[in-house]
Amino acid sequence: MKLVIDDADIPKIKHIWEYYPCAGVTTNPSILAKAGRPPFEVLREIRSIIGQKAELHAQVIASDADGMLRDAERIRKELGEHTFVKVPAVPEGFKAMKAIHKAGIQITATAIYTPMQAYLAGMAGASYAAPYINRIDNMGYDGIHVACEIQDIFIKNEIPCQILAASFKNSQQVLALCKEGIGAATVACDVIESFVKNAAIDAAVKAFQDDFAGLVGSAKTMASC
């Protein structure tokens, strides 16, 4: 399962990108609003951090299909060929997806709560479908189960679309999708950090260092002893 950063906080993205094996960055209008800067200024800075070959996902804002296509063309022009244009999985969005796909622009279908939305998006040309795992849970349904249903639909109907699971509150939800072999998950920086935030891990590493210091002296490493 590919891991993608879901954030527009530049210092956090730089840190996560430096330390963890991520495939790209996703954004949405709400995330960009938190950055408090012109959207393309932020997106271009993210692109400069992750490079031209990593995935960058940015969302259309227009509410009609023609406007979504214009937004998609501008996003692709500004951010390069490895940019995925996020399009809401709604009627105007499906119409737009067909045109955007025809234009050779990669699509991430977003705001997905049901398997049928994902099915229609895949058939309309989306490369990714992004179910909102935690938001589905909050509606009283099982977000992990919905993601697995979508994956099953894609496989059995030979639809060339992957899941890009989104909306997580904790690492356990991400782990559950890893076990199912979901294509990708986009996760906030703070949740990614929580993957290895564990006092037992820190204690084990410190014990190794203390034992080694007792053997060869403090401040020594394998390179210097």
pLDDT along the chain (225 residues), means of 10: 97 98 98 97 98 98 98 98 98 98 98 98 98 97 97 98 95 96 96 93 94 90 92
pLDDT of residue 166: 97
pLDDT of residue 151: 97
pLDDT of residue 2: 97
Q: Tell me, what's the pLDDT at 219?
A: 86
Of 14, 86, 98, 156, which is the active-site residue?
Answer: 86
The pLDDT value recorded for residue 75 is 98
The CATH topology of domain 2-194 is: TIM Barrel (3.20.20)
Q: pTM score, two decimals? A: 0.94
SS (H, E, C) the chain: CEEEEECCCHHHHHHHHHHCCCCEEECCHHHHHHHCCCHHHHHHHHHHHHCCCCEEEEECCCCCHHHHHHHHHHHHHHHCCCEEEEEECCHHHHHHHHHHHHCCCEEEEEEECCHHHHHHHHHCCCCEEEEEHHHHHHCCCCHHHHHHHHHHHHHHCCCCCEEEEECCCCHHHHHHHHHHCCCEEEECHHHHHHCCCCHHHHHHHHHHHHHHHHHHCCCCCCCCC
Give residue 52's pLDDT.
96
Q: Any catalytic annotation for residue 86?
A: yes
Domain boundaries, the chain: 2-194, 198-225
